[in-house]
Amino acid sequence: MSALGLTNTVFLPIGLGLLGFVEPCSIGSTLIVIKHLERRNATSKLAQIGAFAATRAIFTGCLGMAAVVLGATFFGFQRAAWIGLGLLYLGLGALYLTGMIGPLMVSLGPKLGRLGDLQGSAALSVLFGLNIPACAAPLLFALLGAAAAGGAAGATLAGGFVALALFGFALSLPLIIAVLFEPARRALDWLAGLSRRLPFWTGLLLVALGAWSIWFGFYIVVKA
């Protein structure tokens, strides 16, 4: 796999997933899941948090495959795909920096606030896993755009699935650690304070990615 492919398939999804976790509303939804598991024994916690993380990874991975299929419909338009992806990144970054990202922050899947009042079960952990916190939704949209651009450039379904599954897993990874280890739960308080400053840095990151993608579309894809 090329360095570009490795970045888009592995490093970028993991980085954005971890970034999505520490954003404000994601921290809040994390506390609901922790409450759901707090009185269970270690074996039950491990089984249920595993079901949660696996469900979220598979769910987002399937979204990635769908995005690749959509992008493959426009196979041959690689330049337009990468420039379009860059514009998407720039637009999302500008919304973060201006504080206007709110309309895109819509939670996907079941509402955790409603599920939190139900009795615990493995099935409930699966339902938790189908939820993508509202703060992470714009980052998910950005990665779906990347998967679609990759589809236009000939990326495989497996690549789309792996990239978005890694995003979903990274979005859950700190929660897994927090559920299993008491010191990590205390660290969530520190993360909650940090999360208030995250939207600005998220915006800068997306603007930089957007500029890079547009440059890539104009110069690299054309030469290829």
pLDDT digits (tens, 9 = 90+) for 100-146: 888 777 767 666 555 544 445 556 667 777 878 877 888 898 899 88
- The domain total for the chain is 1
- Per-residue confidence (pLDDT) for residue 66, from 0 to 100: 92
Q: Note whether residue 137 is domain-resident.
A: yes
Above 90 in pLDDT, residue 65?
A: yes
* Residue 202 maps to a domain: no
Predicted pLDDT of residue 80: 78
Residue 199, Cβ neighbours under 10 Å: how many? Answer: 19
Is 90 domain-assigned? no
213 falls within a domain: no
pTM of the model as a whole = 0.79
**Model confidence at 168: pLDDT above 90:** yes
Distance (Å) of CA 209 to CA 2, 109, 115, 212, 213? 18, 27, 36, 5, 6
Q: What percentage of the chain has pLDDT greater than the value 90?
A: 17
- Residue 186 belongs to some domain of the structure: yes
Q: Where does the pLDDT of residue 41 fall: very low under 50, low under 70, confident under 90, or very high at 90 and above?
A: confident
Q: Half-sphere exposure (CA, 13 Å, Cβ side) for 112?
A: 25
For residue 118, what pLDDT is reported? 47
pLDDT score recorded for residue 195: 64
pLDDT at residue 151 greater than cutoff 60: yes
- Residue 169 banded pLDDT, cuts 50, 70, 90: very high
Residue 164 pLDDT level (bands cut at 50, 70, 90): very high
d(Cα 13, Cα 172) in Å, to the nearest integer? 13
Whether 9 is covered by a domain: the verdict is: yes
Does a structural domain hold residue 92?
Answer: no
Range of the domain at 191: 3-77+109-196
Comparing 128 with 159, the larger pLDDT belongs to 159
Task: Give the range with max mean pLDDT: 15-24, 53-62, 147-156, 193-202.
Answer: 53-62
pLDDT of 222 above 60: no
Mean pLDDT of the chain: 79
For residue 85, being part of any structural domain is answered with no
Cβ atoms 119, 162 nearer than 8 A: no
